[in-house]
Amino acid sequence: MENQSVASKLEALVKLQSIDTKLDELKKLRGDLPDEVQDLEDEIEGYKTRLARFEDELKELEESIKKNKEGAKEAEKLIKKYTEQQKNVRNNREFDAITKEIELQELEIQICEKRTKEAKDLITAKKEEIEKTN
């Protein structure tokens, strides 16, 4: 009876060894796949974070464009106002002062237009960078 018990134990041990060998083969087949999957998931998270940052930057740039356009419109209104005031001046000094104000507002418009163009260029560059990421 002990012989059968030893024999059955040996058979069980052989089966266990066979199962263990199959597990080792599966682990070899699997290889570094879990690590690679984790790396890819981390990379995706990095892209998502980067994309969110780009979107925030785009919103800021669009807001900047809006403010610059409003600034240019305000400067145009002031130019019209000063041009009307020039018609009612009493002396050369008043005329020169108003002319300087008009020139200042024209420069302000140019600055706003330049900033708007720069912001649009940055938006284009950011969008291209986003496309490269995709």
Secondary structure E strands in 25-131: none
| pTM exceeds cut of 0.75 | no
pLDDT of 26-85, one tens digit each? 888 777 788 888 999 999 999 899 889 989 999 999 999 999 999 999 999 999 999 999
Q: Which two tokens stand for residue 79?
A: 């130019």
Alpha-carbon distance of 18 to 90, in angstroms, equals 109
